[in-house]
Structure formats: structure tokens, C-alpha cells
Structure 1
Amino acid sequence: MIIQRKNEDGKLISKKASITLAATFLTLIFGSWVMWVSAQTVENKDQDTKINAKHKTIESTLVALNENMEQLLKLTGEIKSEQMQTNLNLVNLKDNLDVHETADIKRDDKAEDRIRELERHR
């Protein structure tokens, strides 16, 4: 099929309709593809932004966890130190108690010896 039309000068221009239709169709396909690529690019940028935000959230959470772990280790060390001091104090108290019990036993033995002596003298 041939399409004829006049240009601005009034000359007759002939074109085959199939070429015009093919060119129009290709332009439409190419335009659609460009719009699709643009939409994918925008969508990818949105996804990248969301992923980056999630990464930053995860990173800040990990930093906070690391700080909390350091504090926990510090507190654990302090607790162990206090526990060791408490155990040492308990050992000292036991030693002191043993010394006092030994002294009491010796006093009791001396008292019994004195009572026996007094009974002998009577």
C-alpha cells in the first residue's frame, strides 16, 4: 500500500504504508522499553535505599550489642573480683573462728584443769 500526500511546497510525496507502520511500531516498542528500563532503575534505586537503610540499622544494632557485651564483660570481671574478695574474706573469717575456737578449747581445758586442782585441794 502506498500513501501519498503533499508537502509544504505542494509536491506529492509517496511512501509505502508498511514502512511507516513498521517505523511507528518500532518507535512504540523502543519507547516502551525505555520507559520500562527507567521504571526498573527507579525501583532498583528504591530497593537499594531500603537495603542501605536496613544495613545501617543492622550495623547500629551490632555496634550497640558490642558495647553492651563490653559492659557485660566488665561487670562480669567486677563480679568475679568481688566474689574472689568475698571468698578470701570467708577464708579469713573461718581462720579467725578456728583460732578463737582453739583458744576457747584451751581455756576450757585450763578451766577443767583448775577445777580438778581445786577439787584435789579440797
Structure 2
Amino acid sequence: MPEKLQWEGFKLQWEGFNMPRGETESSSGVEQTSIRVSKDEIRTILELDQWFANTKKIKLLTAEARVLLFVLLNGTTSSTEGLSIAKTSAGSYFAVLRRLKDAGLITAEVDPNDRRSKLLKAN
């Protein structure tokens, strides 16, 4: 793979496939590796996904990834914003939320400013 790739307005630099890794953790006998990603890197990933969707009609990220990254970037997100970011139908969006909740990645709490709405938070 070349060291630098360029797509109209996006410059991606590959430093190989070794991602920066934190400490290795072990829970329940399953070894997990934590990866630290900055908010700027999350923003870039979401922008890259949006650019490909707009210009090439290709979604690089799953709906789950888009929602999770958006929640991580913003701290809390309204359920309505999540639907917009997921780019799915309402029915599919609720399945996305269920999978993210079941995986323990997000929680949905009642919005104190609008009891009809939910706020999504990362765990």
C-alpha cells in the first residue's frame, strides 16, 4: 500500500497497519486491547465517511459505527440527531440502538428538557 493516498480534499497517510495501542487488559479470560483515539481523529473519520457518501455514494461506516462515534464525539446526543447520523429508516435505527445498548456501548436516558425524547450517552 502506498505511503500517501489522496482523494479530492482528503489526504490520508498510512503509517502501516500497527495502530497505537494502550495497555492490554484481560477480563473473563478474553484479552482485549484498548485503542486511544482523539476527538479530532473521530471527527476526521466521520467527515471521511460523509465525503464518500456524498461524492461516491459509498458508506464506509455501519450505522452503529456512525452513531457510536457521534455520541463519543459529542458526549450526549439526542435520539433525533442519532437517527440523522445513522442514515437509516426509523425502524432500522431502533434496531441499531438496541444492538449498541445490548453491547453495553451506549445508554438512552430520558431528556430532562423534553420527556418525550431520549439522550444517548456512551458507556
Give the TM-score category using the shorter length: under 0.3
Q: Which has the higher strand share?
A: 2
TM-score by length of structure 1 reads: 0.16
- Greater C-alpha Rg: 1
Higher RCO, 1 vs 2 (CA within 8 Å, ≥6 residues apart): 2
TM-score by length of structure 2 reads: 0.16
Q: Which has the higher helix share?
A: 1
